[in-house]
Amino acid sequence: MVRPLPQPVCLVQPTLFPEASRVDIYEYGCALARLGVETHVVVSENHAGQLPPGLIVHQTGFAPRNTPARWWRFAAFARATVRRLNFGIVHLFNPSPATYLLGWMLRREPRRPCIIYDLRTGGLGHSPVAMLVNAMARTAPAFADGLIAVTGALGNHLLGAGRFREVPIGVNLESFRPRARAPRAGDEFVFVYAGTLSRNRALGNMLAAFARVAEEHPRARLVIAGDGDDRDRLEAFVAAHGLRHAVSFLGKRPHAEVPDLLAAADCGLSYVPDVPWFQPQAQLKTLEHFAAGLTTVAVRTAGNRQYWDGLPAELLTADDPESYAAGMRCALTGTYDPARFRRVAEANSWDRITRERLVPFYEATLAARKP
């Protein structure tokens, strides 16, 4: 138990609560409440089960769609909630324009709370959306009292050194834990990828790597959980290479199902292309694999390298198909100790990060605003 903050904290993000690609607000909210902090969240829809005492959910009731009308509706709902309740801190998560708009709205409130703007991601690629995400991050200091970045590399890239506090992603050690593998027919070795199937992730390279491995090791299987604008092309690749018997597309799965998917696999795949916009990004799936004690093959980005001290170097690879296939072959043919991966996860739990990084930053930011 930490010393409770003097006023309630409100976390804000237009998302399902929880949502697989945006678990930060859910995990921070639960961890703060467990520490005795009165915590509120403003989200789009609440799909959570039992929550810790002291965690209060305010939901808009409409889905988090990425349109200007929804941005304004969500921001207006959140501002009304902040006006009604006396929050000491309002913690806004990027990259949605809704939370950026809310930051400017709150800046002009007579009873303005302490505003935290949290960079969970940068813009991915060179699209107008990516440029908007980065522009919002770079101009957020105009309304925010404190700035957070999920990695130092991301904060330095978007804000510059010394202008933010690094508060990394964590992992839920209760949900993700080593489990006995369920019995399966034959001698199959199952790789799993759980994440977005968007074009900017270049997952064709991951499939090309798997095709090389499957040609040499017919027992190799790949389970893909997720959806996105590249799914049709990826499925066409699988069909063209005669891999339908070996590759399963499950579609988007609720975050609550991901631990079971990992428990049924032998190796997790944490693939992103090694390009500037992914280099500084932290990879939540990497930590989830580790917490489950799962051997993991990952691309050698800065976001993944930060977790790799003491882990098998051959599993951290370049992003081209041949290099990634080499890592997959090592995972399939080698023997690795699940406890080594789990120990890395234990050092990066949500509870520990909230207690040691987030709450002290809240306290320091509140103290700096005192007259």
What confidence tens digit (pLDDT) does each residue in 174-220 have?
989 998 776 666 789 999 999 889 998 999 999 999 999 999 999 99
* Residue 231 near residue 238, CB atoms below 8 Å: no
139 and 251 housed in the same domain: no
Q: What is the pLDDT of residues 116-151, one digit of tens each?
A: 999 988 877 778 888 999 999 999 999 999 999 988
Domain assignment present for 61: yes
Residue 48 sits at φ, ψ, to 5 deg, of -80, 155
Domain assignment present for 184: no
142 and 240 housed in the same domain: no
Pull the structure tokens for residue 173: 């050690």
327 Cβ neighbours under 8 A, 6+ residues apart: 297, 298, 314, 315, 316, 317
Domain assignment present for 250: yes
Structural domain harbouring 247: 189-346
37 and 97 housed in the same domain: yes
Radius of gyration of the chain (CA): 21
130 and 202 housed in the same domain: no
224 and 341 housed in the same domain: yes
Domain assignment present for 53: yes
Domain assignment present for 211: yes
- Percent of the chain scoring above 70 in pLDDT: 97
Q: What is the pLDDT of residues 74-125, one digit of tens each?
A: 999 999 999 999 899 999 999 999 999 999 999 989 999 999 999 988 877 7
Where helices occur in the chain by DSSP H, the ranges are 24-34, 68-84, 97-107, 128-139, 152-158, 203-216, 231-240, 258-263, 284-291, 302-305, 321-333, 338-346, 350-353, 359-369
166 and 200 housed in the same domain: no
243 and 267 housed in the same domain: yes
Q: Distance (Å, rounded) from C-alpha 260 to C-alpha 299?
A: 24
Tally of domains within the chain: 2
Task: Give residue 111's identity as a one-letter amino acid code.
Answer: R
321 and 201 housed in the same domain: yes
Domain assignment present for 183: no
141 and 14 housed in the same domain: yes
Q: Distance (Å, rounded) from C-alpha 117 to C-alpha 12?
A: 10
Domain assignment present for 325: yes
162 and 200 housed in the same domain: no
Can you name the residues that pair with 16 across neighbouring β-strands?
A: 45
Can you name the residues that pair with 45 across neighbouring β-strands?
A: 16
Q: Band the pLDDT of 351: cuts 50, 70, 90.
A: very high
Domain assignment present for 179: no
pTM here is 0.82
202 and 315 housed in the same domain: yes
Mean pLDDT of the chain: 92
* Residue 159 near residue 275, CB atoms below 8 Å: no
229 and 333 housed in the same domain: yes
CATH of the domain at 292: 3.40.50.2000
